[in-house]
């Protein structure tokens, strides 16, 4: 038997229903904040990610699925979508249009990580990006939008971690201080940290190795190194979050795994997840456009891990993905099928989820099939009922039954709740 590739999976009902639900809530919440959908390709030139996410990051150096196209071009399955959105912004010269551009996207991303609960090699993200501005109120609004999304999904237990990692002005001094602090204890750090000390010292701060922690705790804090402009931006953002009652934890060691970030970075974690507790992450990337060869364009965004949202929701609202049959149409007598089918069509047009059997069944068998499908109602269409324009609608939960004419039936179904 051919099976799925390690780290990928089939998403089956009812879990697929949960995915559809979290996606539809995201679309609705983001619409209220004036975001529009953008769809970019699943594969791009590998160079796009090397230049933006960064050659030295784990994502690009170890986890990216790259391959050579038949014409020799190095391609990659996208490990994330921010770089693609900025590429599209530049390619379509959207910077020439006035105002901010607000986009959201959703779809699969690919990273060759070690699979575990909540971590896959193909996983789903919903993300949003705002291009063309760097007002701290924009950062606050984006953070507010993700917390609003969590509220709409009914996820109340989460932590918002916040940091600023400075910009091209102030970060070099911090990196230098980090190198100075790390140098004397270099031998005690893990191999990854020793390598990063040379290639990308900032990333030492989010090393997960237990033995490195006591040393990292002693390293300087980026917040003490912010230049006046970055400091003021961060102060203003914090004041806005406070004003709106959005509680956060200041986390100076949170640097995130992508090189394009500047200033604000944030993450939302949940205790309902295991070791992979990060639900979403984001931040500002004011230099990204230039890294891709474009003009200066300020930007901020985030990416939500859908698989992890579904894991959390399946714990706190397990019935959410279920969408059972609302109406099971049972017909009795060889002449009843045509009318029963016509009624089914009309019921479907009212928005009700219907099923009709193609072979005639005894009523008892039909009811047991309806029961197995957890159908909410059964409509009984016999030859007598057709002649009298009076159909039996059985409420499977209450056990009650009522006689309705065709028009009464359709009116009654229109008032059924669309989703259980």
Q: Which residues bind ligand AMP (CB under 6 A)?
A: 80, 111, 113, 118-120, 123, 125, 257, 278-281, 303, 305, 307-308
Q: Shortest approach of ligand AMP to residue 113 CB, angstroms?
A: 5
Residue among 22 and 347 whose Cβ is closer to ligand AMP: 22
∠ CA 318-321-322, nearest 5°, is 95
Q: Closer to ligand AMP by CB, 311 or 340: give it.
A: 311
User: Between 17 and 257, whose beta carbon lies closer to ligand AMP?
Assistant: 257
Q: Which residues of 369-380 are buried (b: 16+ CB within 10 A; e: fewer)?
A: bbeeeebbbbbb
The three-state (H, E, C) secondary structure of 140-183, written as one string: HHHHHHHHHHHHHHCCCCCEEEEEECCCCCCHHHHHHHHHHHHH
Smallest distance from ligand AMP to CB 269, Å: 8
Residue 108 beta carbon to ligand AMP: minimum distance, rounded to whole angstroms: 10
Nearest to 78 by CA among 131, 42, 107: 42
Cβ–Cβ under 8 Å, residues 380 and 330: yes
Peptide bond connecting 14 to the previous residue in cis, omega within 30 degrees of 0: yes
Task: Tell me whether residue 21 or residue 110 sits nearer to ligand AMP (CB atom).
Answer: 110
Please state, in angstroms and rounded to a whole number, the distance separating the CA atoms of residues 407 and 94.
52
CB-wise, 125 or 326, nearer to ligand AMP?
Answer: 125
Report H helices in 5-155.
15-32, 46-49, 58-61, 82-91, 136-153
List beta partners, residue 211: none
Query: Closest CB to ligand AMP belongs to which residue?
Result: 305
**Closest separation between CB of residue 59 and ligand AMP, Å?**
7
* Long-range interactions of 366-375: CB distance < 8 A, separation 24+: 366/328, 366/330, 367/330, 367/394, 369/328, 370/325, 370/328, 370/330, 370/396, 371/396, 373/324, 373/325, 373/328, 374/324, 374/325, 375/324, 375/325, 375/326, 375/327, 375/328
Residue 48 contacts residue 84 (beta carbons within 8 Å) = yes
- The residues, any chain, with a CB within 8 Å of residue 374's CB and separated by 6 or more, are 324, 325
Q: How many CA atoms lie within 13 A of 34 on its CB side?
A: 8
Nearer to ligand AMP among residue 41 and residue 214 (C-beta)? 41
Q: How far is the CB of 271 from ligand AMP (least distance, A)?
A: 14
Task: Give whichever of 1 and 275 is closer to ligand AMP, judged by the CB atom.
Answer: 275
CB of 307 to ligand AMP, least distance (A): 5
Specify the residue, 60 or 343, whose C-beta has the smaller distance to ligand AMP: 60
CB of 120 to ligand AMP, least distance (A): 4
Smaller CB separation from ligand AMP, 84 or 344? 84
Q: Which is nearer to ligand AMP, 22 or 280 (CB)?
A: 280
Report strand pairing: 159-164 vs 262-269: antiparallel
d(CA 64, CA 87): 18
Minimum Å distance from CB 181 to ligand AMP?
26
Query: At its nearest, how many Å lie between ligand AMP and the CB of residue 321?
Result: 18
Candidates 418, 153, 139, 112; CA nearest to 306 is 153
Which DSSP category does 4 fall into? P
Q: How far is the CB of 346 from ligand AMP (least distance, A)?
A: 43
């Amino acid at each position: 038997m051919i099976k799925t590739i390690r780290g990928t999976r089939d998403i089956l009902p009812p879990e697929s229903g949960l995915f559809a639900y979290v996606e539809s809530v995201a679309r609705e919440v983001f619409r209220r904040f004036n975001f529009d959908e953008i769809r970019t390709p699943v594969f791009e030139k590998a160079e796009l990610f090397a230049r933006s996410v960064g050659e030295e990051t784990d994502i690009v150096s170890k986890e990216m699925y790259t391959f050579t196209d038949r014409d020799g071009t190095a391609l990659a399955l996208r490990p994330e979508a921010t770089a693609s959105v900025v590429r599209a912004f530049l390619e379509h010269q959207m910077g020439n249009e006035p105002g901010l551009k607000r986009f959201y996207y959703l779809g699969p991303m690919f990273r060759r990580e070690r699979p575990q609960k909540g971590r896959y090699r193909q996983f789903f993200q919903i993300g949003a990006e705002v291009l063309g501005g760097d007002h701290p109120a924009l950062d606050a609004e984006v953070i507010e939008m993700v917390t609003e999304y969590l509220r709409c999904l009914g996820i109340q237990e989460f932590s918002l971690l916040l940091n600023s990692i400075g910009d091209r002005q102030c970060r070099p001094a911090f990196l230098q201080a980090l190198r100075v602090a790390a140098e004397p204890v270099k031998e005690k750090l893990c191999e990854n940290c020793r390598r990063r000390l040379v290639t990308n010292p900032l990333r030492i701060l989010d090393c997960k190795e237990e033995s490195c922690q006591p040393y990292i705790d002693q390293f300087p804090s980026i917040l003490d190194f912010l230049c006046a402009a970055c400091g003021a931006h961060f102060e203003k953002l914090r004041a806005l979050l406070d004003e709106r009652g959005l509680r956060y934890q200041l986390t100076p060691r949170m640097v995130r795994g992508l090189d394009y970030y500047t200033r604000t970075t944030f993450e939302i974690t949940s205790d309902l997840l295991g070791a992979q507790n990060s639900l979403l992450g984001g931040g500002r990337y004011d230099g990204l456009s230039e890294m891709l060869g474009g003009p200066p364009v300020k930007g901020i965004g985030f990416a939500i891990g859908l698989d992890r949202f579904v894991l959390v929701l399946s714990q706190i609202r397990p019935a959410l993905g279920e969408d059972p049959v609302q109406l099971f149409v049972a017909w009795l007598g060889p002449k009843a099928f045509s009318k029963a089918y016509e009624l089914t069509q009309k019921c479907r047009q009212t928005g009700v989820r219907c099923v009709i059997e193609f072979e005639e069944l005894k009523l008892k068998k039909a009811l047991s099939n309806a029961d197995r499908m957890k159908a909410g109602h059964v409509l009984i269409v016999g030859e007598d009922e057709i002649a009298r324009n009076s159909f039996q609608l059985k409420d499977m939960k209450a056990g009650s039954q009522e006689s309705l004419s065709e028009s009464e039936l359709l009116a009654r179904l229109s008032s059924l709740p669309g989703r259980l």
